[in-house]
Amino acid sequence: MEDKKRIKALFDRYRKGTATAEEKQAIANWLAQLDVPEKPLPDELVERFAVRSLQQLRRKLEPPAAVTKVRSLRYWLSGAAAACLLGALSVFLIRHNGQKHLASITGQPALASLHNTPERSRLHLADGTDIDLEAVADSTVILDESTRIYIHDREVRYESRGATASIAEHTLLTAPGQRYRVVLPDSTRIWINAASAVTYPVRFREDLRMARMSGEAYFEVSRAANWPFVVKTANEHMMVRVLGTSFNISAWQDSDTLQATLVSGSVALKTGKTSGWQLLKPSQKAIYSTRDHQLQVLAVNTDRETDWVYERLVFRRTPMKEVLEKLSRFYNVSFEMRNKAIYQYTFTGTFEDKPLKKVLDYMQLSSNIRYSTLTKGKKTIVELK
């Protein structure tokens, strides 16, 4: 037990950056036996290297010759200590800078919560493992012989071959101020807005494709006859059913309305506990209230509804409350109101690839709003007055 605590404490110090030079060298020497470069690994993945017994590790790291070859391994950990600590988690072999990544993932599917926004964007795997997407940019994760995940330039792309691929679910959760795109094995693309989450299977069932989401996401569903694609929002307040189309869904946890905007194709949506389906046409938006369970359909400009997908911000006489909510998610800032009358304002402007200061300066020039910024820890606060 003391050995287990000692080793666990060592990895905790490594993650926090408080490990001594001798301790860091011990970890580096051990990783060198795994044929891993000296470049520092993502914090949460380091400990994964030391999570199985020697016998389990050798068995797991014997992939087919077509994938890669792994040398026999030696541990710097003592046998007794390793046997005590190892055996609970998955094992990762990581090679950085475009080289192959080998990931041996085991365990039962575990559905991630869609309500907790992470500080850093992450990919939650079926066994409970979390991958820090910011730390493993330009990487390849091999889940098994038939499934790989390619991570590059804020895109997570799945490649699944054969019938042996797992149908376990993954969840991609984005941090405030960050947006990611997922490409599923059927070529469906999902843009995930900041502070949002989408859960999807690694491989779809033969009769149905389904995803669940919270926050905001834009879908380009690959067309496939007799293979419907269904999207459910958190708490299943809204369900959208399509065969092949492009649409945007907004389902923020702090909002009492859900919105679905159709860009192309056709969709059918069902809200609340109703049994009927509402059909949408291109350039229509459905707005559902979770308070009074009313549904209304409006004609809209889809460019405004999907501006975030293209890293743009488009406002046309937009209520200030909605403007600030959008800016908060887009730039990862918080707003504090010194003048409540500001909520009565509307705002018009288009911003493409502009820093927050440019947006606030324009807002200040076009109205009597004044602003100041301060930093509290890792958070930027904007005071409006």
Band (pLDDT 50/70/90 cuts) for residue 3 is: low
How far is Cα 98 from Cα 84, in angstroms, rounded to an integer?
34
pLDDT value at position 265? 93
Q: Which of 22-26, 41-45, 76-80, 274-278 is the least confident region? A: 76-80
Average pLDDT over the chain reads 75
In this structure, the number of other CB atoms found within 10 A of the CB of residue 115 comes to: 10
Instruction: Report which of 322, 318, 337 is spatially closest to residue 381, judged by C-alpha positions.
Output: 337
pLDDT per position as a tens digit, 214-235: 999 999 999 888 899 999 998 7
Mean pLDDT of 229-253: 90
Hey, what are 206's tokens?
Answer: 């033969």
Q: Which residue has the higher pLDDT, 2 or 132?
A: 132
How far is Cα 355 from Cα 195, in angstroms, rounded to an integer?
19
pLDDT per position as a tens digit, 321-355: 999 999 988 898 999 988 888 889 999 998 988 88
Q: Which residue has the higher pLDDT, 22 or 83?
A: 22
Mean pLDDT of 19-30: 62
pTM reported for the whole predicted model = 0.69
Structural domains of the chain, with CATH: 1-88 (no CATH), 105-204 (no CATH), 205-308 (2.60.120.1440), 311-384 (3.55.50.30)
Burial of residue 241 (CB within 10 Å: 0-12, 13-18, 19+) is middle
pLDDT per position as a tens digit, 53-92: 333 433 433 443 333 322 222 233 333 333 333 322 222 3
Task: Please answer whether residues 130 and 45 qualify as being in contact, where contact means their C-beta atoms are separated by less than 8 angstroms.
Answer: no
